[in-house]
Amino acid sequence: MWPRLFVSLLALAAGERGLELLQRSLQLSRKPASTCQGWDCLKQFVSAPDGAFAWRDTGRRLKDPAWEGQVLELISQRWLPDLVTPALWNHTLVLITPKAFSAALSDAPCVLYVALGSLTAPQTAWNVEAADAELQAAAQVAHAAGAWRAAVLFNVPANFLRFGQAAPSVEDGSLSTSWALLRQDPAPRMLELPMAKATVRAMDVLGAFAGIHSFALMGTSKRGHLCWHTASVDARVKAIVPIAKALNLEPQLRLTVEELGGFPWAAFEYVSKGLFQNFTLGPHWKYFLGVTDAYYHLSRTKALPKLVISASSDDFFMPDHLKLWWPQVPEPKWSFTVPNSRHIIGGLQVTALAPVIGSFLARVKSQAMPRLEWSVEASGAISAWADEPSQVRLWQATSCDNKRMDFRQYSAKAEVCPCGVPSAEGCRTNVTWTSSELPDAMEPDGPESTGKWWVRPKDPRSGRWRAFFLEFEWPGGLRLSTEVSVVPRTVPFPDCPGSGKCEGLV
C-alpha cells in the first residue's frame, strides 16, 4: 500500500480553495438526472460505443527467462470531457505468453490482471519492463495455473485526474470525488463505470490481437470490486479472483464504527468529503448503491467460480466483514484470508499469492476444487467441513486493547499507542496473527469425525477481543479458509452509527 503521508499531501494540496473550485465545477457541469437504475446503468455505460476507443501493437517485446511479453497501447474511452482532464483513458496492455505454452492450452482462459500504474510515473508502453512487479505477478499466477497465458492492464483507474480546477487526484481521491458528484444528481458518473469499460475494452483488444475469448479476471482493492462489475456484464469472464474488497457497503460502514468507534485512517479521502458520515442522508444514496455496489447484482454471477481473497489486518475493512455478504454470494465460491497482511494492492503481494490463485484456476478448469463449507454459531464458534485437506491451521489474534475491536497493524494516532510503537504512519501495533496445527478432525463433546472441524477459542483476558479463522491446505499450493469470527460477541461502540460522536478517523 502506498504511504499514507504521500496520499495525505496530495489531498491537502488542493486546500480549501481547491475544494471550492471543485464544487463550482460540479455546479457548472450539472447533468440531467439519470433515467437508468441499478445494474442497467453499468450495462448501458459499458456497452455504449465510444469513438475514442483505439489500440495498436507497439512492436515492443519484453523478454523474461520464462515468458515473452507483447506490449500494446490502448485508449479505452473518453470520460467526462466537460469536467475531467485528461478525458482520454490511456493504458498499456501486455500479453504474456509462457515459453511452455502450447496449442493444447489454447482453451484455457487468459489470466487478466487489472493493475494500477505507478503513482509517480504512470506506466507507458515505453517504460514498462519485464521486471515490473505487476507483470511478474501475472506471469507467476499463469505459471502456477499450468503455463496459461496472462495479460496485465495498467492504469485502471486512470490516475492524476483533475476534476474541474481542483488538484490532480489518484486512486481513492478520484473515486471519492466521483462519488461526490451524486450530490448534484443521480447520473452514472462514478469511477467504477469507466474502470469496467476499460477492462471490457482490454478483452476486446486481446480477442482481436490474439484470438483470446475467455478470461480469468483478478484485481486488488477497487480493482477487486471491478472483477464483480465486469463479470456481471461480460460472459467472457469465466472466473474471478477479487482481492481485498468487501461488498455490501452500507452495513460495512455500520460495522466499522461499531468495532472501531470511527473510520479507519485509510478512508480519510471519503471521510474528508463527508461521504461516509452523511451520504446516507442524501437523496441519491440508494441509487448510488444500486449502481456501484456489486452486492446488489450478485445474482448475475451465478455459476461463475469465485475465489475471494481478504487480508486479516486490512487497513480499510474489518476482519469479520464476510459475515455481511458471503451468504448471499451464489455458488461456486471459495474464500482465502491472508494472515498478517495489510490491505493488498500491489504486484509483490499478488506474487506471494500466485500458488493459491494458480492452483485455484487449474482446479476450477479441471473441475477438481475441494469442498469447504462452514458456519458460525451464535457463540462465535466455527464449524467447518472440508474434503481431505493435507493440513488444517487455526489462525488467531488478540485486539490491541479493550477499547477498540482493532486488528490492524497501524492505527491513526501515533501519540495514542497502548500496545505498540509510534511511527511515521501512526501507531504500529503489536497485533500479530499466530497459527497452530489442528488434528485431522475435531468436534465439541464428541468423537472425532472425518472431514469436520469445530473451534471456539477462549475469550481473552482484560476485556479484549480474539479474532480467528480456520485455514485448509491441499497439495499443489491450494489454500482456502473460513470467514473470520470474533469473540466475545460484543462490540465496543454499539451506539456509534449515526450518532456523529465517534465517526472521525482512528
Instruction: Judge if 130 and 233 occupy the same domain.
Output: yes
How far is residue 60's CA from residue 213's CA, in Å, rounded to a whole number? 23
Q: How much is the pTM?
A: 0.92
Instruction: Judge if 84 and 114 occupy the same domain.
Output: yes
Among the candidates 369, 403, 435, a domain finishes at 369
Place of cell 474528508: 272
CA atoms within 13 A on the CB side of 436: 7
**Residue 311 within a domain:** no
Instruction: Judge if 349 and 393 occupy the same domain.
Output: no
Query: Which amino acid is located at 177 in the chain?
Result: T
Burial class of residue 272 (count of CB atoms within 10 Å of its CB; 0-12, 13-18, 19+): middle
Among the candidates 369, 402, 427, a domain finishes at 369
Instruction: Judge if 389 and 462 occupy the same domain.
Output: yes
How far is residue 486's CA from residue 492's CA, in Å, rounded to a whole number? 12
Instruction: Judge if 31 and 87 occupy the same domain.
Output: yes
Instruction: Judge if 90 and 208 occupy the same domain.
Output: yes
Instruction: Judge if 114 and 183 occupy the same domain.
Output: yes
**Residue 267 within a domain:** no
**Residue 187 within a domain:** yes
From residue 400, alpha-carbon distances to 304, 317, 407, 462 in Å are 39, 16, 7, 11
Instruction: Judge if 123 and 10 occupy the same domain.
Output: yes
Instruction: Judge if 229 and 354 occupy the same domain.
Output: yes
**Residue 282 within a domain:** no
**Residue 140 within a domain:** yes
Query: Which amino acid is located at 435 in the chain?
Result: S
| 172 SS3 class | helix
Q: Which residue segment(s) compose the domain that 136 sits in?
A: 4-244+344-369
User: What is the count of structural domains for the chain?
Assistant: 2
pLDDT in tens, the chain (506 residues): 333 433 333 343 343 444 455 555 545 445 545 679 999 999 999 999 999 999 999 999 999 999 999 999 999 999 999 999 999 999 999 999 999 999 889 899 999 999 987 666 667 888 899 999 999 999 999 999 999 999 999 999 999 999 998 999 999 999 999 999 988 788 889 999 999 999 999 999 999 999 999 999 999 999 999 999 999 999 999 999 999 999 999 999 999 999 999 999 999 999 999 898 776 667 888 999 999 999 999 999 999 999 999 999 999 999 999 999 999 999 999 999 999 999 999 999 999 999 999 999 999 999 999 999 999 999 999 999 999 999 999 999 999 889 999 999 988 766 667 788 888 878 888 899 999 998 765 655 444 556 899 999 999 988 999 999 999 999 999 999 999 999 999 999 998 877 777 878 88
Angle, alpha carbons 447-452-458 (nearest 5°): 80
Continuous segment of H or E residues that includes residue 56: strand 54-64
Query: Which amino acid is located at 133 in the chain?
Result: A
Strand partners, 472: 392, 480
From residue 272, alpha-carbon distances to 177, 179, 489 in Å are 11, 13, 31
**Residue 446 within a domain:** yes
**Residue 286 within a domain:** no
Instruction: Judge if 102 and 203 occupy the same domain.
Output: yes
DSSP string computed for 454-496: EE-PPPPSTT--EEEEEEEE-TTS-EEE---EEESS--S-TT-
Burial class of residue 452 (count of CB atoms within 10 Å of its CB; 0-12, 13-18, 19+): middle
How far is residue 170's CA from residue 192's CA, in Å, rounded to a whole number? 14
CATH number, domain with residue 75? 3.40.50
Instruction: Judge if 361 and 399 occupy the same domain.
Output: no
Q: How far apart, in Å, do the first and last CA atoms of the chain sit? A: 18
**Residue 290 within a domain:** no
299: cell is 445474482
Instruction: Judge if 128 and 232 occupy the same domain.
Output: yes
